Amino acid sequence: MIGFRLDEEYEVLRKRVEDFARTAVAPAIGDLYKRDEFPYTLVAEMGRMGLFGLPFEREYGGGGRDFLALCVALEELARVDTSVAITLSAGVSLGAMPIHRFGTPEQKERWMPGLCSGEALSAFGLTEPGGGTDIAALTTTAVRDGGAWVINGAKSFITNSGTDITRLVTVTAVTGVRADGRQEASTIVVPAGTPGLEVAPKYSKAGWNSSDTRGLAFTDVRVPAGNLLGREGRGLSQFLSVLDESRIAISAVGAGVAQGCVDESVRHAEERAAFGRSIGANQAIQFKIADMEVRAQSARLAYYHAVTRMLRGEPFGREASIAKLVSSGAAMDNARDATQIFGGYGCLNDYPVARFYRDAKVLEVGEGTSEVQRMLIARGLGLPAAA
Q: Report yes or no on 28 lying in a domain.
A: yes
pLDDT of residue 137: 80
**Is residue 2 one of the residues assigned to a domain?**
no
- The whole-angstrom separation of Cα 14 and Cα 16 is 5
**Contact in structure between 102 and 230 (CB atoms under 8 Å):** yes
Lowest mean pLDDT: which of 21-30, 78-87, 155-164, 179-188?
179-188
pLDDT digit string, tens, across residues 352-376? 999 999 999 999 998 889 999 999 9
Indicate which CATH number applies to the domain containing 245. 1.20.140.10
Contacts of 96 (CB under 8 A, 6+ apart): 52, 56, 111, 112, 115, 116, 122
Judge whether 172 lies within some domain.
Answer: yes
What is the pLDDT averaged over residues 109-118?
Answer: 97
Instruction: Look at 130 and 49; give whichever has higher pLDDT.
Output: 49
Within a domain: residue 385?
no
User: 296: which residues sit within 8 A by CB, 6+ positions away?
Assistant: 255, 258, 259, 261, 262, 330, 334
Does some domain include residue 96? yes
pLDDT of residue 133: 67
Dump pLDDT digits (tens) for 273-285: 989 999 999 999 9
Same domain, 363 and 375: yes
**Same-domain pairing of 179 and 263:** no
Average pLDDT taken over every residue of the chain:
95
| Same structural domain, 38 and 78 | yes
CB atoms near residue 204 (< 10 Å): 7
Do 102 and 141 have their domain in common? no
The reply to whether 13 and 143 lie within a common domain is no
Which CATH number is 83's domain given? 1.10.540.10
The CA-CA-CA angle for residues 114, 86, 341, to 5°, reads: 155
3 state DSSP class of 17: helix
Q: What is the DSSP string of 326-346?
A: HHHHHHHHHHHHHHHHHGGGG
Q: How much is the pLDDT for 92?
A: 98
pLDDT for the residue 287: 98
Q: Does residue 77 sit within a domain?
A: yes
Q: Is the pLDDT of residue 131 over 80?
A: no
State the pLDDT at residue 253: 98
* Residue that finishes a domain, picked among 91, 121, 151: 121
233-253 mean pLDDT: 92
Q: Do 89 and 162 lie in a common domain?
A: no
Q: Is residue 134 domain-shared with residue 144, that is, in the same domain?
A: yes
Q: What is the tens place of the pLDDT at every residue in 193-208?
A: 999 999 999 999 999 9
pLDDT of 166 higher than 90: yes
Domain termination site, one of 233, 257, 272: 233
Same domain, yes or no, for 117 and 135? no
Lowest-pLDDT choice from 44-53, 126-135, 149-158: 126-135
- For residues 222-228, give the mean pLDDT: 97
Say whether both 303 and 324 belong to one domain. yes
CATH code of the domain in which 137 resides: 2.40.110.10
300 & 290 share domain: yes
What is the percent of the chain with per-residue pLDDT over 70, rounded to a whole number? 98
Catalytic residues: 367
pLDDT tens readout for residues 52-102:
999 999 999 999 999 999 999 999 999 999 999 999 999 999 999 999 999
Residue 171, domain extent: 123-233
Does residue 113 sit in the same domain as residue 128?
A: no
Do the Cβ atoms of 326 and 250 come closer than 8 Å? no
Residues 201 and 260 in one domain: no
- 240 pLDDT band, cuts 50/70/90, is confident
pTM, two decimals, is: 0.95
Confidence of residue 387 (pLDDT cuts 50, 70, 90): low
3 domain residue, yes or no: no
Q: By the 8 A CB rule, do 311 and 66 touch?
A: yes
Report whether pLDDT(347) > 70. yes
Where does the pLDDT of residue 135 fall: very low under 50, low under 70, confident under 90, or very high at 90 and above? low
Query: Could you tell me if residue 386 is inside a domain?
Result: no
> Which of 47-61, 167-181, 293-307, 308-322 is predicted least confidently?
167-181
The answer, yes or no, to whether residue 134 has pLDDT greater than 80, is no
Domain boundary among 88, 121, 154: 121
Number of domains in the chain: 3
